[in-house]
A and B are shown apart, each in its own frame.
Chain A
Amino acid sequence: MSANLLAIFYLVSGVLFILALRGLSSPETSRQGNLYGIIGMIIAISVTIISVGNFSIEFVYLIVFLIVGGTIGGFIAFKIPMTAMPELVAGFHSLVGLAAVFVAISAFLNPEIFNLGYPGDIKIASLVEMSLGAAIGAITFTGSIIAFLKLRGIMSGSPITFPGQHFLNLVLGILLVGLIYFLCKTQSENLFWSLIFISFVVGILLIIPIGGADMPVVISMLNSYSGWAAAGIGFTLENTALIITGALVGSSGAILSYIMCKGMNRSFFNVILGGWGATDDTSSKKSSEQKPVKSGNADDAAFLMKNASSVIIVPGYGMAVAQAQHALKEMVDSLKKNGVKVSYAIHPVAGRMPGHMNVLLAEANVPYDEVFELEDINNDFANCDVAYVIGANDVTNPVAKTDPQSPIYGMPILDVEKSKSVLFVKRSLSPGYAGIDNDLFYRENTLMLFADAKKMTEEITKSL
């Protein structure tokens, strides 16, 4: 196959990847979009194999490893519960990162096959590109592993900080730049290995100070990194498909990080430089306990909702933890039988990754046209009879609008306090992730339902 024809095929698969993302603009076109993505991938893989033209024993191994990886991937894809999607995505990011590192290593060790020069005499531009690809890939790998461990609960979700942390990161960052510079001068293999090793360390250090509820930003950011790593390798291999894809994924992740940060009214650097939970403990603890709280049981809640004409459901991470989405759908179905109008309100940072709540509701067969984003539904709270808050907390806290001292001041919130009554399903009065008390708990029109989200929802369904 001529180099030109090959380049055209790569371009085609790059365009198909663009169409794959384009399809996601609405659920109707999304499935077709995914198909475009699959076709693009098949084209890229097939033409690469044909262009190398080696169908001997190496080809057999290639197919075997492809099947091994594919089987593992397929098995995971079908077995994974939807609540575990954030961990899965973090895990997948780590694989892209590590794959980028491995490809960079083979390009460094055997540059002839990629037309990059000879060992010890690699073209400077290629060396810079592969170093960047390897470094970003390595950071993505360890960073995603940490994110995975935190999301999975194997590692504590609370931020890990120590004195001089930012300084250390800065020193390591400068060291990385220095290593790339000297690598280009000396072509030394040891410098290349050190570069990868230090990038692994940087990846760990970058993610450990970030707390659990900031994970939506972290996952999006790592998504972005995995794209830039792919683009770096794409430049090394002079491969258009890889360059286009890397740029797409890189900007996609960056936009998601931006949307998530905006959802919390925090700057990107504020999130990256360390968690909330650690710093704001002192201001929050004083006022709880003393204030009176109205609490109720499932029958009270059922009575309120049955007599309502409209109910808005506000799901949060707690719903995912309790796996309450199916129970919730059942409750909504019986409400609808009673003639109640029900819709769902989703805050941009609800859950542990962008769109987390939407996937869980979709899994429970909630039609997506009943689910609304913050801007689209926030005005409806004023006309709604009952807001049913299940597993959300900070994203409903009116303090964000009233108290300039509060760490969440300025964060866009769902105006649940405007509805006639608020039902709060929560296990206790403990503050949410931001470590601040929710004013809403003590309001006249709030009824607290202290229980596990799933159990409470099931009980309400029974009494309906």
Chain B
Amino acid sequence: MEIDPFIFRLSIFILSIFVGYYVVWSVTPSLHTPLMSVTNAISSVIIVGAIIASLAGNSNEVFDTASIFGYLAIILAAVNIFGGFLVTQRMLAMYKKKKKDK
């Protein structure tokens, strides 16, 4: 009897929820805002779906309906990826420790 590959993906999903649970609880509360912006950026990995939709379509027609939605999703996800990571970087650069000599 063979196991449906869906079950494997479900296992990954469930285990990742637990990983997420423990990792996020260890995030220091002062970094909760950067946490939100970085989760925002990484959830835009949904762009891989958009890339497939736009590249793998019918080669006779660059813009069929499916690929147009793909391209739109690429723009949206790109805004998020660049915006999310950069704004996180900008915020994290501001967190400084007390200078010792003061």
Q: Is the CB–CB distance between B78 and A20 below 8 Å?
A: no
Which chain B residues lie closer than 8 Å to A110 at the CB level? 53, 57, 64-67
Judged by a CB distance under 8 angstroms, whether A393 is at the interface is no
Q: Residue of A at shortest CB range from B31?
A: A24
Question: Taking CB as reference atom, which chain B residue is nearest A255?
Answer: B24
Q: B88–A363 contact, CB under 8 A?
A: no
The distance in angstroms between the C-alpha atoms of A336 and B24, with both chains bound, is: 35
| Pair B46/A233 contact, Cβ less than 8 Å | yes
In angstroms, Cα B36 to Cα A240, docked, is 21
Q: A220-B36, A235-B9, A237-B48 are in contact. Are A113 and B79 (CB under 8 A)?
A: no
Instruction: Report whether B66 and A77 are in contact in the complex, using a CB–CB cutoff of 8 Å.
Output: no
A241 to B9, CA, bound (A): 11
Q: DSSP majority for the B interface?
A: helix
Contacts A70-B79, A96-B46, A244-B16; is A89 near B9 (CB within 8 Å)? no
Is B28 in contact with A27, judged by CB distance below 8 angstroms? Answer: yes
Our pick among B5, B40, B52, B97 for the contact of A52 (Cβ within 8 Å) is: B52
- Asked whether, in the complex, the Cβ of A41 is within 8 Å of the Cβ of B53, the reply is no
Bound CA–CA A49/B23 (angstroms): 30
Interfacial chain B residues near A65, Cβ < 8 Å: 71, 74-75, 78
Q: Is A100 part of the contact surface with B, judged by Cβ < 8 Å?
A: yes
Please, which residue of chain B has its CB at the minimum distance from the CB of A102? B73
Please tell me if the beta carbons of B85 and A243 are within 8 angstroms of each other in the complex: no
Binary contact track B49-63/A, C-beta < 8 Å → 1, others 0: 111111111010010
Which residues on B sit within 8 Å (CB–CB) of A369?
97-98
Tell yes or no: A98 within 8 A of B by CB.
Answer: yes
Q: Are A243 and B13 also in contact (CB < 8 A) when A41-B45, A70-B82, A74-B83 are?
A: yes
CA–CA, A386 and B83, complex, Å: 40
CB of A405 within 8 Å of the partner chain:
no
Tell me, in angstroms, the Cα distance from A96 to B44 when the chains sit together.
6
Q: Which B residues lie within 8 Å of A249 (CB)?
A: 20, 39-40, 42-43
Give the size of the chain A interface in residues (CB under 8 angstroms): 115
Please name all residues of chain B whose beta carbon is closer than 8 Å to the beta carbon of A241 when the two chains form the complex.
45, 48
Inter-chain CA distance A24–B28, complex, in Å, is: 7
CB within 8 A of A245: which of B29, B45, B79? B45
Report how far A66 CA is from B96 CA in the complex, Å: 33
Residues of B contacting A62 in the complex (Cβ-Cβ under 8 angstroms): 51, 54-55, 71, 74
Q: Are A44 and B48 in contact (CB under 8 A)?
A: yes
Q: In the complex, A129→B33 CA distance in Å?
A: 30
Separation in Å of the B90 CB from the closest CB of chain A?
6
Inter-subunit contact A17/B45 (CB<8 Å): yes
The answer to whether residues A250 and B95 also contact, given A41-B41, A227-B39, A239-B49 and a CB cut-off of 8 A, is: no
Considering only CB atoms and an 8 Å cut-off, how many residues of chain B contact the other chain? 85
CA distance A363 to B97 in the complex (A): 13
Are A21 and B46 interface neighbours, CB within 8 A? no
Residue of B nearest to A25 (CB): B26
B29 touching A58, Cβ below 8 Å: no
Q: What string of 1s and 0s marks CB contacts (under 8 Å) between A24-45 and chain B?
A: 1111001101100110110011
Q: A20-B42, A52-B55, A241-B48 are in contact. Are A57 and B80 (CB under 8 A)?
A: no
A78 within 8 A of B: yes
Output the nearest chain A residue to B6 by Cβ-Cβ distance: A125
Query: What residues on B are CB-neighbors of A95 within 8 Å?
Result: 44, 76-77, 79-80
Q: Chain B interface: which of A353-361, A427-435, A446-454?
A: A353-361
A78 proximity list for chain B (CB < 8 A)? 86, 90
In whole Å, how far is A314's beta carbon from the nearest beta carbon of chain B? 15
Q: Is the CB of A362 within 8 A of B75?
A: no
B56 to chain A: closest residue by CB: A113
Provide the bound-state CA to CA distance between A244 and B45, in Å.
Answer: 10
A422 proximal to B (CB < 8 A)? no
Knowing A109-B65, A359-B34 touch, does A242 contact B25 (C-beta < 8 A)?
no
- Is A103 an interface residue when CB atoms closer than 8 A count as contact? yes
Which residues of the partner chain A approach B44 to less than 8 Å between Cβ atoms? Answer: 41, 95-96, 99
Interface window among A80-88, A177-185, A197-205: A80-88
Cross-chain pairs A/B with CB under 8 angstroms, 18 sampled: A27-B30, A27-B92, A58-B59, A65-B78, A106-B66, A234-B46, A235-B9, A241-B45, A243-B16, A245-B43, A250-B17, A252-B20, A255-B21, A259-B32, A355-B32, A358-B29, A358-B32, A373-B30
* A interface with B by C-beta (< 8 Å): 13-14, 17-18, 20-22, 24-27, 30-31, 33-34, 37-38, 40-41, 44-45, 48-49, 52, 54, 56-59, 61-62, 65-74, 76-78, 80, 82, 85, 88-89, 92-93, 95-96, 98-100, 102-103, 105-107, 109-110, 113-114, 125, 219-220, 223, 226-227, 230-231, 233-253, 255-256, 259, 336, 346, 348, 353-356, 358-359, 362-363, 365, 367-371, 373
